[in-house]
Amino acid sequence: MGQRRNYAKVHGGERRGEGQEKRLLKPMLEGIRENLTAVGAKGDPLQKAVLLADNGYHSEENARLVLEQGLDAYLPDTKFRKRDPAYATAGRHRRAVDRKKLRYRPRSHFGPSEFSYDRKKKTLICPAGKELWLKCRNFLSSDGYRGTAYMGRVKDCQNCALRSKCIRKPHTVARQVVIFHGRDEAAPTTFCQRMMERFDTVRGRFLYSRRMGIVEPVFANICHVHELDHFTLRGRVKVDIQWKLYGIVHNMLKILRFSRRFA
């Protein structure tokens, strides 16, 4: 585990032997309730709190969990920044190499935005100048978004000089592109959709913007100040104990610092 390891993931999914964090939200909420009740909290302590999580916890199951429990929770999806008007021009200001020496590689394959629409013929034109035929006028995705599906001709795609930049898998015979027009009004509203609508409110984005100053400094302090840049033990039980010991030290120092301020 290197110096630049994401400790949010270490504390969440990977420390628990999970490849993803999605299945850890429920046990984390149960643990919070148990700990706060043990120190004297009355009722459900989560009903008086605001729950903020990163997009690793966003799923239909987790959205259902917090919404049905009536929690003031905000679980962003992976595309929440693309819907934010403040990030509309972020791409043009991005440097090839940022201050952390991370390189931003350009997209390796053509996206739907690079296919132009011919209004006269009512079809799409690929970057190579070939027409795509209309495959489905009323394409409906699994999450309720409706669009129009187009597909390239096999003879055009197989001999195209831009095939390697357009088609990802070698066995795919022709490129298919779906242009979405929005969510179908008749489609049932999913819990993920309800969570996205909650998150996109002014309150939701304001609360989530505070997460960077609430959560991330904890991992920065443990990683850089207390120098836990990697676990020195092996095995789930030992790693769990080591992480909790560092968490205790972090909390004790925080109590000591704030107790002096209010003494």
Q: What does the pLDDT look like over 47-83, one tens digit per residue?
A: 989 999 988 999 999 999 999 999 999 999 988 888 8
Could you tell me the pTM of the whole model?
0.69
Strand segments (E) across the chain: 50-52, 72-74, 116-118, 123-125, 131-140, 145-152, 176-183
CB 25 within 8 A of CB 56: no
Which residue carries 């795509």 as its tokens? 132
Q: 175 CB contacts (<8 Å, ≥6 apart)? A: 126, 132, 151, 152, 157, 166, 167
The domain ranges of the chain are: 7-84+200-261, 112-183
- pLDDT average, residue stretch 230-238: 87
> For 140-190, how does the pLDDT look when each residue is reduced to its tens digit (9 = 90+)?
887 788 899 999 999 999 989 999 999 999 899 999 999 998 887 777 888
